[in-house]
């Protein structure tokens, strides 16, 4: 074997070792930072970090697959999912029995409102066909009269899917929203019941 061939083989081996080393380091960096051996796949897109503004379709189960990083496939981890409010800029105000309140004052964990199915290899979340951000508020205060004096921009991300390890460590935060526009939201104070000096928000309608 000529010296030239030997040199080429040596270079190839060094490159392969370098690629393997980089992959090993990357996996362990993610693993150490996230404490998770897995990432998520949604509609073919890998989710390896926190996400904001993910658009979810209403009335259709949205599937998130659990995929393991290369080399960690045998180290399965248990997980669970919650849905929580996002308190970093998207706020709105409303009245509860005539008293002023706000989205920020709402409890953070609203998981029970959402239709979530969890399996070992995936989970799904299904939004109602007419889902709107204010539905959750009306659910939280279902025993009280709620009045929204201003339009609520349903296109913003008010809620996030949080994926936790079994020990409670949050490893992925996925802020989500629906395809609404502020112009498509209507609060009709003329026809809605006049409980507290204004209308009672029944619908977040989409103008055709």
Q: What pLDDT, in 10s, does the model give residues 148-168?
A: 988 888 778 999 999 999 999
**Cβ atoms of residues 106 and 140 within 8 Å:** yes
Q: Residue 86 pLDDT > 90, yes or no? A: yes
Q: Residue 68 pLDDT > 60, yes or no? A: yes
pLDDT for the residue numbered 75:
87
The residue with greater pLDDT, 207 or 4, is: 4
Where is average pLDDT lowest: 20-34, 61-75, 140-154, 181-195? 181-195
Of 3-17, 19-33, 73-87, 144-158, highest mean pLDDT? 73-87
**Cβ atoms of residues 165 and 66 within 8 Å:** no
Q: What is the pTM of this model?
A: 0.71
Arithmetic mean of pLDDT, 165-194: 66
Arithmetic mean of pLDDT, 133-148: 93
* Band (199; pLDDT cuts 50, 70, 90): very low
Distance of CA 154 to the CA centre of its chain: 15
pLDDT for the residue numbered 151:
81
- CA dist 8 → 1, 13, 177, 189 (Å): 11, 9, 53, 78
Beta sheet of 93-96, edge-to-edge order? 99-102, 93-96, 146-147
Closest CA to 163 of 32, 39, 33: 39
- Residue 37 token pair: 């051996």
pLDDT for the residue numbered 143:
93
pLDDT for the residue numbered 202:
38
Q: Is residue 71 packed enough to be buried (19+ CB in 10 Å), middle (13-18) or exposed (0-12)?
A: middle
Helix (H) or strand (E) holding 29, with range, is helix 3-34
pLDDT for the residue numbered 153:
80
* Band (196; pLDDT cuts 50, 70, 90): very low
**Cβ atoms of residues 164 and 171 within 8 Å:** yes
Rounded Cα distance between 15 and 21, Å, is 10
Q: Residue 178 pLDDT > 90, yes or no? A: no
Helix (H) or strand (E) holding 94, with range, is strand 93-96
Q: Residue 2 pLDDT > 70, yes or no? A: no
Rounded Cα distance between 50 and 52, Å, is 7
CATH fold group of domain 35-184? Immunoglobulin-like (2.60.40)
- Residue 194 token pair: 């006049």
């Amino acid at each position: 074997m000529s010296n030239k061939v030997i040199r080429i083989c040596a270079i190839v081996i060094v490159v392969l070792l370098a690629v393997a080393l980089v992959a090993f380091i990357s996996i362990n960096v993610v693993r150490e930072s996230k404490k998770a051996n897995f990432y998520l796949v949604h509609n073919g897109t890998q989710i390896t970090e926190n996400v904001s503004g993910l658009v979810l379709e209403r009335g259709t189960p949205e599937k998130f697959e659990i995929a393991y990083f290369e080399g960690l496939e045998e180290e399965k981890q248990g997980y669970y999912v919650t849905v929580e409010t996002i308190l970093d800029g998207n706020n709105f105000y409303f009245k509860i029995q005539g008293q002023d309140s706000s989205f920020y004052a709402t409890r953070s964990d609203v998981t029970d409102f959402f239709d979530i199915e969890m399996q070992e290899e995936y989970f799904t979340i299904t939004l109602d066909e007419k889902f709107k951000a204010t539905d959750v508020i009306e659910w939280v205060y279902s025993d009280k009269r709620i009045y929204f004096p201003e339009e609520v921009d349903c296109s913003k991300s008010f809620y996030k899917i949080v994926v936790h390890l079994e020990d409670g460590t949050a490893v992925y935060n996925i802020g989500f929203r629906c395809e609404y526009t502020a112009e498509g939201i209507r609060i009709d104070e003329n026809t809605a019941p006049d409980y507290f000096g204004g209308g009672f928000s029944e619908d977040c309608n989409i103008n055709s």
